[in-house]
Chain A
């Protein structure tokens, strides 16, 4: 079930009503109802994959107990941790990466002169959200292993934690210490929290339906026909893709966080206006925060993080970015994308500027950013956008040809929308969007933070009207990150 579908429009109020009015008295019954709603939500795509979620839940619940039981015997505890990882990564590997490895193996042999018929390639369907919920359950085992958490004895609460529908298919990837504790304890309805949730849902829908969906046909057209377009159009295409993927994914996260608020649950922030980052390190503190911190806590720090020698730290950075790229998809393009980000990140790290902007935003103490900040933001946006050529292209060959065409056909031609719409409408829309996001840049959880009720009301109205003005019935409305 998609957040932006008609089914969800009926599903959410129904689940909300039953949750607060019928099952309110008993937290256990409320959690059973949450599991039912979450499984229904997920099963709307393909009910067969519910078994995978359930298996992942079962394995990590059991393994968590085992790790804790052997917590003082680190060797035994490690075995159990490995068991959890083997199961989750094995499942991920089979469903997401099996064809990639088979194809890469065949290509490798082809390169040295041996042709192998690709009869091994399996017709495996990628279960929606598998990368998200496997990482979430693994974090539970890790936290117990690192003595940050005691395992839950409440299987129902744990099942609700793994399958909690707002964040099940595309995050935020939650930690048990945050989400599970909220699920175990009794929730009470809060007007401020619920109205905040509605506002986030509205803003998320705007980002998805207006920004991402209206740019999608343009980006699809440019990337599909890059061989026929001049450099100006190709640069436009990848810039618009930057906004598309941001609108798509951060929109999803906002809806997820907003929906969770309606059920009295706070999820972690996943996007903190990454387009206003002043260097690549700051970008990774603002983009897909739940994944970045996951890799930081469970991969980078266990490898030594930055507490080892500079050379080893650089190695760790490279590893984390390559793995992060590979997490996104079974394609060399994502590995290159990750590698490119490592290259952008390392100089910032070596100059000691990687934590420089951790606690402030652009234009922290004034309304307008300084000229230096503007240049920093533009440079970071340019670097990140450049890397997206790999992220968006179907293959490495396409990525390099796209870049080659920019370099060799450096001309300008006005771009015409594939469906004939006036491009100026989209440029105005994006300009207004950037300005508005700048105004609200200090609080990603409250996109309508204005004192005046009239201003807020006008903003809600404008947002809904813009959704209508840019609605396109013909656009595929699924979310980009569902494929990961």
Chain B
């Protein structure tokens, strides 16, 4: 029995070591550059990190990221000035773009179509409208020099709060020993990414055993009730009141298929401009999202870039924007 137990433990240890090496050699794990909250309470990435974001068990989507001095994933540094024409693109993981090489991002695609324009991508996974407007408000001086601001609004999840509160808890959690261990043992990072550790997490957090029935009940589709619509609108109004919204140069990028009519009506009635990419996506001949993920793929990003470029080119007179 002693021999059996010793050998089992030794084999498990050696196998895990070899798999750890293989996971590193074939870069099966994904990297998540560290996050922090700066002195203006803006949550972003620690500058200067380069690496690769990986999606899928078998390295199916492999892309390089580059965190610039401003703390965002971008191919360029953000140096706004009065002499250049700059566009700021603000949003969540869709704008942060860890699913495509940083040198082939949406911003880069816009720059390629608009000569002499610099696009600054202020993307950060988890940003909602409160984060975004607070960011613009905090970096007011910088944003005053930027000529166009495009704010990506995912209506279903970005209007759930009326005021920005920095999430110190999340930053503390991510820098805790448990997460540091996870990030340093690549096999754990890989296991966590592919979901094999999910049952362990559930067991530890007491979420019960998995469903083993033949036909698990489908999850309810997310539905926004009229009360929620009203709440979202009030949140929007409050955020605009708290942090400001320069209607002359700020435009919302949204998908009208996922946005309530009442919100769109409010925007139109109050002169909040928006770019709607719904029709472009609907008419797309190829898939617009990744196979293993719901984020935009290269074609999706091309269409988003096209929408923004078309909007900039046909930009109406900025007078009368308030």
Contact = CB atoms under 8 A, between A and B. Distances in A.
Contacts of A198: 8
A464 B15 contact: yes
Given A468-B194, A476-B216, A6 B200 contact: yes
A5 B203 CA distance: 11
Nearest to A195: B4
Interface residue SS majority, chain B: helix
B214 interface: yes
A460 B16 CA distance: 11
B3 A191 contact: yes
B57 A5 contact: no
B199 interface: yes
B320 interface: no
A413 interface: no
A44 B200 CA distance: 17
A10 B212 CA distance: 17
Nearest to A192: B4
B274 interface: no
A483 B214 CA distance: 8
Nearest to A464: B15
Interface in B237-271: none
B166 interface: no
Nearest to B8: A198
Given A2-B212, A191-B3, A476-B216, A425 B195 contact: no
B292 A420 contact: yes
Size bracket, chain B contacts: 20 to 34
A457 B210 contact: no
A105 interface: no
B292 A473 contact: no
B7 interface: yes
B195 A421 contact: no
B188 to A, nearest CB: 12
B139 interface: no
A130 to B, nearest CB: 15
A121 interface: no
B144 to A, nearest CB: 44
Contacts of B58: 425, 469-470
A436 interface: no
Nearest to A21: B1
Contacts, number: 75
A427 interface: no
B311 interface: no
A284 B28 CA distance: 42
A194 B4 contact: yes
Given A6-B199, A191-B4, A457 B14 contact: yes
Interface string B48-68: 000000000110100000000
A393 to B, nearest CB: 16
A421 B15 contact: no
Interface in A390-434: 419-422, 425
B214 A468 contact: no
A471 B196 contact: yes
Contacts of A477: 210, 212
Nearest to B201: A6
Contact of B57 (A44, A45, A194, A469): A469
A461 B60 contact: no
Interface string B183-213: 0000000110011101110110000011011
A7 interface: yes
Contacts of B190: 468
Nearest to B212: A478
B1 A468 contact: no
A465 interface: yes
Given A20-B1, A420-B292, A469-B58, A5 B199 contact: yes
B11 interface: yes
B171 interface: no
Given A468-B194, A471-B194, A478-B214, A44 B291 contact: no
B55 to A, nearest CB: 11
B22 interface: yes
B212 A45 contact: yes
Contacts of B125: none
A64 to B, nearest CB: 33
A252 B171 CA distance: 44
B19 interface: yes
A477 B213 CA distance: 9
B18 interface: yes
A457 B11 CA distance: 8
A460 B191 contact: no
A468 B214 CA distance: 24
Contacts of B15: 457, 460-461, 464
Given A420-B291, A473-B195, A5 B19 contact: no
A471 B19 contact: no
Interface in A447-479: 457, 460-461, 464-465, 468-473, 476-478
Contacts of B198: 473
Nearest to A458: B18
Contacts of B8: 198
A421 to B, nearest CB: 7
Contacts of B4: 189, 191, 194-195
27 contacts: A5-B212, A6-B200, A6-B202, A6-B203, A6-B210, A10-B203, A20-B1, A189-B4, A195-B4, A198-B8, A419-B291, A421-B60, A421-B291, A422-B60, A457-B11, A461-B18, A465-B19, A468-B190, A468-B191, A469-B57, A471-B57, A471-B194, A471-B196, A476-B216, A477-B210, A477-B212, A478-B214
Interface of A: 2, 5-7, 10, 20, 44-45, 189, 191, 194-195, 198, 419-422, 425, 457, 460-461, 464-465, 468-473, 476-478, 483
Interface of B: 1, 3-4, 7-8, 11, 14-15, 18-19, 22, 28, 57-58, 60, 190-191, 194-196, 198-200, 202-203, 209-210, 212-214, 216, 291-292
